[in-house]
C-alpha cells in the first residue's frame, strides 16, 4: 500500500505523449505497475470501474494486493470510504470508487494515503450545465455543448460516448456524483420523448462512474409541451401531468436524480404567475419525484422588485417560506446575494433558513471573471465563501457548516457548480480553467480543504512530467521552479481579477455588450431596468461612490446576523473588501491604510495590472518545465489578460475620475486609453482572440 513518493515525477517523463492538448485533464497517463485487486463478486458496473481504475492507475508497490470491501460502518456516511493498509472499505460501490481515486491521487502527488475515514461534506456534488438543446452553452466559453448538438441529431455516436465517459471519469476522480445536463433557462423540449431518449443515453454512460443524471425543467412545461391551459402547481391536471412525466423518466432512467428549477426569475415562468409561492411550486414537483427517491433543487436566484435593492430580494422572498418545503426539496443559493461577481459577501440566506435544506451554488464558468481568457483560480473565492461566519447559530456557523448538515438537521445536503466544460479539446478553453472544475469537486467532497493543497494536487497531476527536460530535472528543481511559483500565481489570481476589475466591494460594473467581459461602468441604455445597469450598483456621483446598504440606506445589512450586521454597517469596521458593497463613501474618505478612498481605488486597479504582468513573468520562466503546446496556450491567454487588465484600470479610473475630479496619483501607471475610446470600443464587439 505504500505509494511511490516523489520519484513519480520523473519516472514517467519518458512515458508521456509529447502532444499535450490538455484533453487528459488531471488524469494523464502514467507508468504503472501490476497490482492484484481483491473485490466482492458482483456484476456491478461501478465495482468494475473501481477495479479497472486501480489496475490502470496503480503506481504503488509492484505486485501489491489491494482489497475492496463493501461493509456496514457507522463512521462512513454517504459515499465515504475507509482507507486501511489492506485497501479500501466503503458502504456503497461509489465509495469504493472514490477510495480508489484517492489512493491513485496520493500516489501521483507524492502523498502518503491517510489511513482512516473520508466522508464527503455533501451528499450531492453536482455540476450544472447551462447547455441548450441547440448545442449552445449559456455563459460557456469552451465551445459547444458536450451533450447536445446544433443539428438536433439524436443519434448517439461512439464519439459522444467516449467524451461522456471521459467526462464522467473526470468527475468521479474528484467525487462529483451528479450532473444537470441542460440549462436552467430550460427548454420545454427537454422533456419530450426524443430528448429523453438522449438523456437516457447520457445517463447510461455516466452511471458506471457513479454520476447521476438530473434535468433542469421549465415550470410551464405542462402548457408548452403538454398542451394544458395552465401550469398552476395546485391544479390537479398539472399535478397529474408532472406525475406522469416523472414516471416516464424513471421508467427509462431508474436512478434519475431529479429536477433543478429556475422559476419566477429573469422572465422564467413560475408559481408566482398563478399567485402561488415558491413552496407550492417546489412541493408539487417534489411530490412527483418522491416515489422514485428524486430530488428537487429550487433556485433562490430571484429578484422581482420586492425591494429597491436587488441584493435583498431573494432573502425577502425565501425566508418567510422557511419550513414550508418538502424534505426532498433543496433551495439552491448562489454564493453571493447578487450574481457571481468577482467578490460578493456571502448570501444572507445561508444560515437564515433553519428548517429547510439549503445548498450553495458556485459558478465554475468565469462569466464575470474573464471567461476562458483570464487565469483565475476560483478555489480561493469558494474557500472564502465557505469559511465566512454567518453567526446564525452562534460563532463558527460558517457557510460550510450551515449547508453541510453540521449545524441544522438538513434531510439532504448538496453543492452545485455551474460547469465550464465544452467541446474545446482541453474541455475548458483556458488550461487553468480545468483547475476550477477540479477544485469544485474537491471542495464539494471536503469543504474544509485549503486552496493551496488543491492547487498543489492539480498542478502535480496536470503538469508533472510534461516536458522532455524533466527526464533529467530533479524533483527539487521542479518544485522550486515550477510548482512553487505557479501555485502562488494561482493563489493570487482571483484577487488580481478583483483588483483590476471590481476592487473594494465594487460589483456589476462589467460590459454588458461584450457578454460581461471587460469594463462597462457607464452602461445604462434608456429604458433598461435599473438593476441590470452598472450605475445602479456603483452609484458614483460628485460626493462619492458605492451602494449604501447600511441602516441609512437599503438596510441590506440587517439581513445579516449580529455581530456581522453592525460590523458591516460601520465603515470603520467593514472589511475593505466589502466597503463599497455596503457604503456610499466620499472620494476623500480616509481608508484604514491612511490613503483616501480615491487613491486606494487607483492603487488597487494598478496593483491588479502589475499582478497580471507578474503572472506573465512567472509563466515565462516555466517554459523548461511545460510542454510546448500548453506553455504557448497559457502564455497567449496571459498576454490577452494583461491587455484586459490595463483596459479595466484605464476605463474605470477615467470613468470614476469624472466624478471624483481628482488626479490619478503619480505612483499609478497613467492611462494609455481615453475614456471616449474605451466607451466607443465597448459598443463594438471586439474581434475574438486568436486561439493559440
Ligand atoms: C442561466 C446570470 C447570467 C444568466 C444566468 C442567470 C442564472 O444572470 O447572466 O446567463 O442564466 O445568472 O443564474 O439563472
Q: Which atom of ligand 1 has the smallest separation from the CA of 418?
A: 13
For 563, phi then psi, to 5°, come to: -85, 5
For residue 149, report the distance from its CA to the centre of ligand 1, in Å.
Answer: 21
Of all protein residues, whose CA lies closest to atom 2 belonging to ligand 1?
Answer: 339
H-assigned helices in 424-467: 433-445, 451-463
Please give the pLDDT value at position 475. Answer: 86
| Whole-number pLDDT of residue 144 | 96
Q: Which residue numbers in the chain have pLDDT < 50?
A: 1-17, 692
Ligand 1 atom with the smallest distance to the CA of 367 is: 9
Q: How far is the CA of 236 from the centre of ligand 1 (A)?
A: 31
Work out the angle at residue 632's Cα, subtended by the Cα atoms of residues 138 and 455, and round it to the nearest 5 degrees.
65
The domain 5-119 is classified under which CATH number: 3.30.379, 1.10.3470, 2.60.40, 1.10.10? 3.30.379
ω into 563 cis (within 30 of 0): yes
Q: How many C-beta atoms lie closer than 10 Å to residue 250's C-beta?
A: 16
Give pLDDT, residue 367.
97
20 among known catalytic residues: no
The yes/no answer on whether domain 498-547+584-681 falls in CATH 3.90.1330.10 is yes
- pLDDT value for 466: 72
d(CA 440, CA 365): 11
Residue nearest to atom 12 of ligand 1 (CA): 339
> pLDDT of 341-373, one tens digit each?
999 999 999 999 999 999 999 999 999 999 999
What's the confidence (pLDDT) of residue 163? 98
Q: State residue 2's pLDDT score.
A: 38
**Exposure letters 652-673 (e unless 16+ CB within 10 A, then b):** bbbbbbebbebebeeebeebeb
What is the reported pLDDT for 1? 39
From residue 102, alpha-carbon distances to 78, 96, 181, 526 in Å are: 16, 10, 26, 55
Which atom of ligand 1 sits closest to the CA of residue 516?
9
CA 541 to centroid of ligand 1, rounded, Å: 29
pLDDT, residue 690, reads 54
Confirm whether 5-119 and 124-463 share one CATH topology.
Answer: no
Query: For the domain bounded by 124-463, which CATH number is listed?
Result: 3.20.20.80
Which entry of 53, 367, 424, 600 is annotated as an active-site residue? 367
Given ligand 1 and candidates 130, 261, 310, which is best to mutate, with the most ligand atoms within 8 Å of its CB?
A: 130
In 464-596, which ranges are continuous DSSP H helix?
Answer: 475-478, 484-501, 534-538, 564-569, 579-582
CA of 339 to the centre of ligand 1 (A): 8
CA of 88 to the centre of ligand 1 (A): 41
Q: Which atom of ligand 1 is nearest to the CA of 361?
A: 13
Collapse the DSSP code of 10 into the 3-class scheme (helix H, G, I; strand E, B; otherwise coil) and give the result.
Answer: helix
Protein residues whose CB sits closer than 6 Å to any atom of ligand 1: 130, 138-139, 184-185, 262, 266, 301, 339, 367
Q: Considering only CA atoms, which of 214, 174, 110, 165 is closest in space to residue 476?
A: 110
| Residue 687 per-residue DSSP state | P
CA of 335 to the centre of ligand 1 (A): 13
Tell me if residue 367 is catalytic.
Answer: yes
User: CB-hemisphere CA count at 13 Å for 468?
Assistant: 4
Beta-carbon contacts of 692 under 8 Å, excluding residues fewer than 6 positions away, are 632, 633, 635, 636, 637
Which residues are registered as beta bridge partners of 333?
360
Cα 431 to averaged position of ligand 1 atoms, centre (Å): 24
Contact call for residues 21 and 629 (beta carbons, < 8 A): yes
For ligand 1, mutation pick of 183, 301, 337 (most atoms within 8 Å of CB):
301
CB 383 within 8 A of CB 450: yes
Distance 340 CA to ligand 1 centre (A): 9
Query: With contact defined as beta carbons under 8 Å apart, do 133 and 99 qualify?
Result: no
Ligand 1 centre to CA of 269 (Å) is: 15
- pLDDT given for residue 457 in this prediction: 97
CA 400 to CA 443: how far, in whole Å?
A: 10
pLDDT of residue 177: 98
Q: Most distant CA pair in the chain: distance in Å?
A: 76
3-state SS class at 544: strand
Tally of CB atoms within 10 A around 252: 15
3-state secondary structure of 272: helix
Among 141, 183, 216, 266, residue to substitute to test ligand 1 (most atoms within 8 Å of Cβ): 266
Distance of alpha carbon 347 from alpha carbon 212, whole angstroms: 28
* Choice from 217, 339, 416 to test ligand 1 binding pocket (greatest atom count within 8 A of CB): 339
pLDDT of residue 11: 44
pLDDT for 514 equals 86
State the burial class of residue 318 (Cβ atoms within 10 Å of its Cβ: 0-12, 13-18, 19+): buried
Instruction: Give the DSSP letter of residue 47.
Output: H
Question: Measured from the CA of 139, which atom of ligand 1 is nearest?
Answer: 10
Active-site residue (options: 79, 339, 389, 606): 339
- The single residue of 194, 266, 515, 541 carrying the catalytic annotation is 266
Atom of ligand 1 nearest to the CA of 184: 1
584, 545 Cβ separation under 8 angstroms: yes
The closest-lying atom of ligand 1 relative to the alpha carbon of residue 185 is: 1
Domain spans in the chain, listed from the N-terminal domain onward: 5-119, 124-463, 498-547+584-681
Tell me whether residue 339 is one of the annotated catalytic residues.
yes
Per the CB < 8 A criterion, the answer to whether 686 and 647 are in contact is no
Please state, in angstroms and rounded to a whole number, the distance separating the CA atoms of residues 546 and 178: 39
Distance from C-alpha of 208 to C-alpha of 51, rounded to nearest angstrom = 12
Q: Is 360 helix (H, G, I), strand (E, B) or coil?
A: strand
Amino acid at each position: 500500500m505504500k505509494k511511490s513518493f516523489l520519484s513519480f515525477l520523473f519516472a514517467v517523463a519518458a512515458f508521456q505523449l509529447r502532444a499535450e492538448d490538455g484533453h487528459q485533464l488531471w488524469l494523464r497517463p502514467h507508468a504503472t505497475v501490476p497490482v492484484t485487486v481483491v473485490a466482492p463478486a458482483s456484476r456491478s458496473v461501478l465495482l468494475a470501474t473501481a477495479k479497472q481504475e486501480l489496475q490502470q492507475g496503480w503506481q504503488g508497490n509492484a505486485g501489491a494486493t489491494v482489497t475492496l470491501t463493501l461493509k456496514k460502518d457507522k463512521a462512513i456516511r454517504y459515499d465515504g470510504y475507509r482507507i486501511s493498509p489492506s485497501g479500501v472499505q466503503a458502504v456503497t460501490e461509489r465509495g469504493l470508487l472514490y477510495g480508489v481515486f484517492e489512493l491513485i491521487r496520493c500516489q501521483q502527488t507524492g502523498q502518503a494515503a491517510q489511513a482512516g475515514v473520508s466522508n464527503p461534506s455533501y451528499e450531492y456534488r453536482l455540476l450544472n450545465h447551462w447547455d441548450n438543446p441547440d448545442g449552445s452553452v449559456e455563459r460557456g466559453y469552451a465551445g459547444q455543448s458536450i451533450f447536445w448538438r446544433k443539428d438536433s441529431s439524436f443519434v448517439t455516436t461512439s464519439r459522444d460516448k467516449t467524451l461522456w465517459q471521459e467526462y464522467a471519469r473526470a468527475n468521479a476522480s474528484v467525487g462529483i456524483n451528479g450532473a444537470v445536463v441542460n440549462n436552467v433557462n430550460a427548454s420545454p423540449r427537454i422533456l419530450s420523448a426524443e430528448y429523453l431518449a438522449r438523456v437516457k443515453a447520457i445517463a447510461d454512460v455516466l452511471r458506471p462512474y457513479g454520476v447521476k443524471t438530473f434535468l433542469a425543467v421549465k415550470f410551464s412545461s405542462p402548457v408548452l409541451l403538454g398542451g394544458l391551459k395552465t401550469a398552476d402547481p395546485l391544479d390537479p391536471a398539472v399535478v397529474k401531468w408532472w406525475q406522469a412525466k416523472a414516471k416516464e423518466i424513471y421508467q427509462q432512467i431508474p436512478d434519475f436524480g431529479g429536477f433543478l428549477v429556475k422559476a419566477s426569475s429573469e422572465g422564467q415562468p413560475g408559481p408566482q404567475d398563478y399567485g402561488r409561492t415558491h413552496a407550492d411550486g417546489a412541493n408539487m414537483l417534489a411530490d412527483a419525484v418522491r416515489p422514485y427517491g428524486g430530488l428537487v433543487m429550487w433556485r433562490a436566484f430571484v429578484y422581482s422588485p420586492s425591494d429597491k435593492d436587488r441584493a435583498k430580494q431573494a432573502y425577502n422572498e425565501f425566508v418567510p417560506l422557511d419550513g414550508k418545503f418538502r424534505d426532498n426539496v433543496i433551495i439552491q443559493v448562489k454564493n453571493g446575494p447578487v450574481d457571481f461577481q468577482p467578490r460578493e459577501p456571502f448570501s444572507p440566506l445561508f444560515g437564515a433558513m433553519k428548517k429547510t435544506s439549503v445548498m450553495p451554488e458556485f459558478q465554475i464558468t468565469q462569466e464575470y471573471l474573464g471567461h476562458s481568457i483570464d487565469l483565475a483560480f476560483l478555489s480561493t473565492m469558494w474557500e472564502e465563501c465557505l469559511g465566512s461566519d454567518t453567526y446564525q447559530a452562534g460563532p463558527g456557523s460558517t457557510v460550510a457548516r450551515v449547508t453541510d448538515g453540521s449545524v441544522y438537521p438538513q434531510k439532504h445536503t448538496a453543492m452545485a457548480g455551474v460547469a465550464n466544460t465544452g467541446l474545446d479539446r482541453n474541455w475548458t478553453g483556458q488550461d487553468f480553467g480545468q483547475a476550477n472544475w477540479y477544485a469544485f469537486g474537491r471542495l464539494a467532497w471536503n469543504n474544509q480543504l485549503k486552496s493551496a493543497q488543491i492547487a498543489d494536487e492539480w498542478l502535480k497531476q496536470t503538469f508533472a512530467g510534461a516536458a522532455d527536460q524533466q527526464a533529467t530535472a530533479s524533483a527539487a528543481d521542479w518544485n522550486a521552479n515550477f510548482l512553487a511559483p505557479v501555485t502562488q500565481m494561482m493563489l493570487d489570481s482571483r484577487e488580481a481579477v478583483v483588483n483590476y476589475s471590481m476592487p473594494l466591494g465594487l460589483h456589476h460594473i462589467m460590459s454588458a455588450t461584450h457578454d460581461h467581459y471587460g469594463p462597462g461602468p457607464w452602461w445604462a441604455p434608456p429604458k433598461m431596468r435599473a438593476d441590470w445597469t452598472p450605475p445602479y450598483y456603483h452609484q458614483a456621483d460628485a460626493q462619492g461612490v458605492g451602494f449604501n446598504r447600511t441602516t441609512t440606506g437599503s438596510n441590506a445589512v440587517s439581513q445579516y446576523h449580529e455581530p456581522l450586521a453592525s460590523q458591516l454597517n460601520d465603515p470603520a469596521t467593514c472589511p475593505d473588501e466589502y466597503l463599497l458593497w455596503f457604503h456610499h463613501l466620499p472620494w476623500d474618505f480616509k481608508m484604514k491604510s491612511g490613503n483616501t478612498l480615491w487613491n486606494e481605488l487607483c492603487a488597487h486597479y494598478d496593483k491588479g495590472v502589475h499582478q497580471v504582468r507578474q503572472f506573465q513573468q512567472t509563466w515565462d520562466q516555466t517554459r523548461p518545465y511545460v510542454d510546448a503546446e500548453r506553455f504557448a496556450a497559457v502564455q497567449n491567454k496571459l498576454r490577452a489578460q494583461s491587455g484586459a487588465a490595463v483596459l479595466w484600470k484605464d476605463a474605470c479610473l477615467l470613468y470614476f475620475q469624472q466624478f471624483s475630479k481628482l488626479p490619478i496619483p503619480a505612483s499609478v501607471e497613467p492611462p494609455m486609453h481615453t475614456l471616449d475610446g474605451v466607451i466607443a470600443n465597448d459598443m463594438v464587439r471586439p474581434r475574438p482572440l486568436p486561439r493559440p
